[in-house]
Structure 1
Amino acid sequence: MADRPKLTERQQQIFDLVRSAIERTGAPPTRAEIAQQLGFRSANAAEEHLQALARKGVIELVGGTSRGIRLPSAALRAVNEAREARGRQFSLPLPGLSQLTLPLIGRVAAGSPILAQEHVDQTYVLEASLFPRKPDYLLRVRGMSMRDAGILDGDLLAVQKASEARNGQIVVARLGDDVTVKRFERSGSGIRLLPENPEFEPIVVSPADSFSLEGLAVGLVRNSMLM
């Protein structure tokens, strides 16, 4: 196996920041967020370092999105190995607590609970350390409305059941007969469900709508993590 490319101190800082954001929120940071956290004068400086990291193969850049940064399978394996090493140092007292068995929810029928058995396509056993908070299920993402949050069509969103959310959190919401993934916003005028893609319009929830929160996004699972 090839050795990992050598990174400069600054490149390592940016890689760690990207990896930490993805582990913590399921979405990578924007160039502006990287610049702000590392004290760069502009997002262009962050972009130059990201391009260098992409050339070294430790990240992948997706064009046309503000959060178009992904960890390739090799980098994800390194992340998982580091987690396993930490787990050995701070092992849990009871066996089995480090793994979760999560149902994968496919299409949701109107009017029925999201975790109804007929919605479960299959189940996955995943390391609990992949998620900052314990999820209750995985939901297959359909469409590209959350593209700029790094959530793409076909991704598996890890969801913790919840009926309340704070502004800015990514939620799974039921509106009428549809289940959707959006960013939550509540104001004096009501609730809006915000996409992370300028090609999509915000969804305004009216008092007459049948609306409920199904859960909060607590992580993202790529296909390469399930291989």
Structure 2
Amino acid sequence: MTRPLTPRQQNVHDFIVKTISELGYPPTRAEIARALGFRSPNAAEEHLRALERKGVIRMIPGTSRGIRLPAQEPEAPEGDTTAPQGLPIIGEVAAGSPILAAEHIDRYCPLPPEYFTPRADYLLKVRGLSMKDVGILEGDLLAVHRTDRVRDGQIVVARLEDEVTVKRFHRHGYRVTLAAENPDFAPIEIDLRQHELEIEGIGVGVIRGGNGQALG
């Protein structure tokens, strides 16, 4: 039998359900903390871990909105062996919704995640030429390892005000620069005290033109 929720855990669970119902995607830890009056996102994290232990949510590591409600996830039909294999290829990403939402997945690539180091979680179809000087071109597939931990100088997939972009990451205190690798594109400057920036992952490889020719 599932252990009952404490009143505070029930509040967190209700807020998650409400957010998914109204917006179509789960809240971040910071949003939970603000809505429920916690002193920090760490307090929200502790309640989320407790909810996961009790089986009422499922957490996906490495993503700020990685909260799932098992009760709302469809079960595979009995005997169904047709689950997609390989890495999901993400096309257009709708504003505000999780990057791995089912409606964003164009198809699957048969490459195993371990082909890349660190392992890839998905392939993102590249739009535009802002990263052409490092060999990331229009139509390529960027292999992405999902994490919000990033080192200065890494190529990242970043979400800023509901827009997803691929850029090189630089941080100086509260200021982050998302730099293009093409002189025709100006860098994006962010003050973390005023704007929220979410790192969806780091680039770990490129498939040229989406044709299966992988580049390290």
TM range (shorter): 0.5 to 0.7
The CA deviation at 1:226 is 2.6
TM score, norm. by length of structure 2: 0.56
128 and 104 in structure 1: CA distance in 2 versus 1, 3 angstrom threshold = closer
Separation in 2, partners of 1:128, 1:214: 17
Q: Please give the per-residue CA displacement for 1:168-200, whole angstroms capped at 9, x wherever unaligned.
A: 100000011210000000112511101000111
* Cα separation, 2, equivalents of 1:165 and 1:128: 19
129, 135, 150: which one aligns with 1:165:
150
Task: Report the CA distance between 1:211 and its aligned residue.
Answer: 1.4
Secondary structure of the structure 2 residue equivalent to 1:118: helix
State the number of aligned residues.
Answer: 128
Of structures 1 and 2, the one scoring higher in RCO (CA 8 A, sep 6+) is 1
Residue 209 of structure 2 corresponds to 223
TM-score with structure 1 setting the length: 0.53
| C-alpha distance in 2 between matches for 1:195 and 1:219 | 17
Measure the CA separation in 1 of the matches of 2:109 and 2:197.
Answer: 29
Structure 1: unaligned runs, 5 residues or longer: 1-99
Alignment counterpart, residue 132 of structure 2, candidates 135, 147, 150: 147
Unaligned 5+ residue runs, structure 2?
A: 1-84
Deviation digits for residues 57-90 of structure 1 (CA, Å, limit 9, x no counterpart): xxxxxxxxxxxxxxxxxxxxxxxxxxxxxxxxxx
Q: How does 1:37-116 map to 2 (within 5 A)?
A: 101-116=86-101
Report the 3-state secondary structure (helix = DSSP H, G, I; strand = E; otherwise coil) of the residue aligned with 1:126. Answer: coil
CA RMSD of superposed structures (Å): 1.8
SS of the residue 2:103 aligns to:
helix
Contact 1:173 1:213 in 2 (8 A): yes
Could you say which residue in structure 2 is the equivalent of 1:205? 190
Residues 103 and 201 from structure 1, CA distance in 2 versus in 1: closer, same or farther, beyond 3 angstroms?
same
Separation (CA, whole Å) in 1 of partners of 2:105 and 2:114: 23
2:165 aligned residue (168, 177, 180): 180
4+ long deviations beyond 3 Å: 127-130
| Equivalent position amino acid for 2:202 in 1 | L
The amino acid of 2:181's aligned partner reads: E
Q: Distance in 2 between matches of 1:198 and 1:140?
A: 22
SS in 1 for 2:133: helix
